[in-house]
Structure 1
Amino acid sequence: MSLASQRPQLVYLVFGAPTYHQEAQFSIASALTNLRKTPGEAIDIQVFSDDPEPYRHLPVTVHTLDAETRTQWNQPHGYHFRSKHVVLRQVLEQHELALLIDTDTFFHRSPIELFRRIAPGTLLCNAIGGHYGDDPKAPLYEALATVLRSRDLADDQMPLLNSGVMGLHCSDAALLDRSIAYMDEFYLQAKGAYTLEEFCLAVAAYRSMKVNECPDLIHHYWSRKQLFRAKIQAWLRKHGDAPLSPEAMADIPHVNAKLPRPPALQRMLYKTVSLALPEQQRQFLRELLYGCYAYPNEFDRACGSAWWDKALENVQARLGRTLTREQLMSWLQQPALRLALGKQHPSVQQHLLLKLQD
């Protein structure tokens, strides 16, 4: 095999809603900002995307994907996560080291540090979780444990992986052939399980590969997405036209992995104030107040409406039903809640009523 480049390849697969492109833009900018921590080192960034426009200000190679190609990559079952493995397999045909990273990530350290955890015989993933047998009631255990055990492919001790990062040396590209084959074979038995892709990666790597992880090097915000997306959108509003300017790079560390919550003393005060409300409404008020707090970090302040959205989603989940407009209005008009929200009450009310309509 003739390798086109010895530089490590950082790879993104991005298509669909603008939100995913926004995530990718910030992830790339954070990678390049942190790359400065390893002077003299270089990487190439490849973006496989249905829209090249969001990346026009970034030093990346964009491979424009049409719907037909993506459909082909997802066959035979239309499982769209299959394409992650197809893309990484293709890149490894031309490059020695490649790492595919999900868009909902940003870097704490230089991306070079991730590539230093990849070597022949080693798979880099985002994180190593528990063991396959930890939850015998899990859908993928009930569906596949017997067949995997009978073929000696996996047992209860197999570690489960998070594939928000997948990094390999080209000599191990066949691992992806195996994971793709397992996805195709087990998709119907697994009833198209959302996590089948990373599960099949774990099966393919079990006993044959050393596995490294990297949660200390990146933040993968698969949880609490609304809050982190709000931070990133605020950064893009400020720096989207010049994402690698000194000012933009200086702001990258302020879009941090910390959840924007008021200090402990303030939270205790909110908890006390909420006692004036019926029990089922107390957490709702506290989360609304989290969104009203005047955070010193401008990107945390940008999470206000995301906290309000989360408050509504959480209370409806706890109740097991959607609030009607009338019910929500009756909650928002309670004197204790109005007093607690103060001058922000009209903004909160308007936002939540619009959210309820969506």
Structure 2
Amino acid sequence: MPDAMKSTPQLVYLAFGTDIYQREAVFSIVSALAHSTAHTDARQFDIQVFTDDPQFYAKLPVTTHVIDPTWDGPHHYHFRIKHAALLSVLNEYEKAVLIDTDTFFRASPDILLARVTGGRLLCNAIGAPLGESPSLPSQSIAHIRQVGLLEASLRQTNSGVIGLTTADKGILEHSIRLMDDLRPLAPELYTLEELCLALAAHGTLQLGACTDLIHHYWSRKAQFRAKIQAWHTKHHGEPLSTAARADVLLVNDRLPRPPQPYRGWQKAVTALIAKERRQFIRELLYGCHDYSNEFDRACATAWWDKALVNIEERLGKPLSAEQMTLWLADPLLKLLAGRHHPTLHAHLLGRLTSKQVV
């Protein structure tokens, strides 16, 4: 290891674009600090944030950096920036873990960092072998096969976490080259960055996962963002206060749904509603339950928005404000929604009105 290489492990975040990504990153960082077993002065890791809006992190013990404008590469592929940012840190530090913003910690970062060892790629999750994946577009598969990279045994990786030692940073250089080569051939492949990382590591590094340590909410993002927005609204002024850290632990990885017996009762009762809108009403009621957890209660509008998207997809057309008014006037819905009905009514009609104006 070169003498200039620094030994303190690094947690690395990349946050740019709209404010929600910055708020996600702040929450993830505070969750790391809340779970840390060491006092601030004795903490065994540092945190670096590459961002286009450093003011979000002014009250956090992090080092911020500007994002190199060349990191998106010749094809301006924004996920390429992840690998370039982590590579820049590994050019200076012995060990680093890049963590996506849409994450939060379940346990101490020290445990996560201990899993980063030579000869190993730490990722968030290890997927099925490439040959068993139904999710890759056939055109992308054809291009990968064309350039001789298709290996059915290759395990896919979820790169919500990428942990490496500097001795293995060549994997990132390899994955960046693959992205530059394959991006024009498979522009429709959203997960190209993850695929290139898996291709670069295949046969070279062992794979490790950390879903037990970090929750990556790439699915049902609206509900988790609602929880995090509620935390940010409450604590952005003092994100490291005792109350803020305690509330971080209340933001759990479960989707807030009424208890099963209650859902079963609702399902039986809503069988009286016309079939066309029965499922719509049931989904609305997810947001009308009086959850004991305040951050679960914050998901109400996310559930209502998702119910609207789902019904319009099932119908194959947008709902009109008139039709929504009629549906929301259903006496059974009013009874089941209870005190939440006026807020539900105002929110959905507001959504439809804004859509029609646009």
Q: State the TM-score, normalized to the length of structure 1.
A: 0.93
> Aligned-pair distance for 1:317?
2.5
Q: Does 1:32 align with 2:68?
A: no
Aligned-partner SS, 2:351: helix
Q: Tell me the residue number matched to 1:245.
A: 241
Q: Does 1:23 align with 2:19?
A: no
**Matches of residues 97-246 of structure 1 in structure 2 within 5 Å?**
97-135=95-133, 138-139=136-137, 142-148=141-147, 151=148, 153-246=149-242
Aligned counterpart for 2:77 among listed residues 70, 76, 79: 79
Q: Deviations over 1:104-139 (max 9, x none)?
A: 000001111111111111000010011111146731
Q: 1:37 to 1:285 in 2, by over 3 A?
A: farther
For 2:315 and 2:288, locate their aligned partners in 1 and report how far apart those are by CA, in whole Å.
24
Aligned counterpart for 1:60 among listed residues 59, 62, 79: 62
Number of corresponding residues: 351
> Aligned-pair distance for 1:226?
1.1
For 1:38 and 1:188, locate their aligned partners in 2 and report how far apart those are by CA, in whole Å.
48
Aligned counterpart for 1:49 among listed residues 27, 36, 51: 51
> Aligned-pair distance for 1:326?
2.5
> Aligned-pair distance for 1:12?
0.5
Q: Does 1:269 align with 2:270?
A: no
Q: 1:231 to 1:133 in 2, by over 3 A?
A: same
> Any unmatched runs of 5+ in structure 2?
none
Q: Deviations over 1:73-132 (max 9, x none)?
A: 112111110100110110000000011010000000111111111111100001001111
Q: Does 1:331 align with 2:331?
A: no
For 1:130 and 1:89, locate their aligned partners in 2 and report how far apart those are by CA, in whole Å.
26
CA-based RMSD: 1.8
Aligned-partner SS, 1:292: coil
Q: Deviations over 1:276-320 (max 9, x none)?
A: 212231221112111111111111111111111111122222333
For 2:37 and 2:297, locate their aligned partners in 1 and report how far apart those are by CA, in whole Å.
28
Aligned-partner SS, 1:59: coil
> Aligned-pair distance for 1:323?
1.8
Q: Deviations over 1:119-178 (max 9, x none)?
A: 111000010011111146731653334225xx3x44111111100000100001110111
Q: Residue 127 of structure 2 contacts residue 155 of structure 2 at CA under 8 Å; is this kept in 1?
A: yes
The 10-residue stretch of structure 1 (262-271 or 13-22) with the greater mean CA deviation from structure 2: 262-271
> Aligned-pair distance for 1:18?
0.7
Q: Residue 123 of structure 1 contacts residue 167 of structure 1 at CA under 8 Å; is this kept in 2?
A: yes
Q: Residue 95 of structure 1 contacts residue 170 of structure 1 at CA under 8 Å; is this kept in 2?
A: yes
For 1:109 and 1:198, locate their aligned partners in 2 and report how far apart those are by CA, in whole Å.
24
Aligned-partner SS, 1:99: strand
Q: Residue 2 of structure 1 contacts residue 94 of structure 1 at CA under 8 Å; is this kept in 2?
A: no
Aligned-partner SS, 2:212: coil
Q: State the TM-score, normalized to the length of structure 2.
A: 0.93
Q: Residue 54 of structure 2 contacts residue 64 of structure 2 at CA under 8 Å; is this kept in 1?
A: yes
For 1:136 and 1:29, locate their aligned partners in 2 and report how far apart those are by CA, in whole Å.
36
Q: 1:61 to 1:37 in 2, by over 3 A?
A: closer
Q: 1:168 to 1:314 in 2, by over 3 A?
A: same
> Aligned-pair distance for 1:202?
0.5
Aligned-partner SS, 1:75: coil
For 1:314 and 1:237, locate their aligned partners in 2 and report how far apart those are by CA, in whole Å.
28
For 1:343 and 1:196, locate their aligned partners in 2 and report how far apart those are by CA, in whole Å.
46
> Any unmatched runs of 5+ in structure 1?
none
Q: Residue 136 of structure 1 contacts residue 142 of structure 1 at CA under 8 Å; is this kept in 2?
A: no
Q: Residue 136 of structure 2 contacts residue 189 of structure 2 at CA under 8 Å; is this kept in 1?
A: no
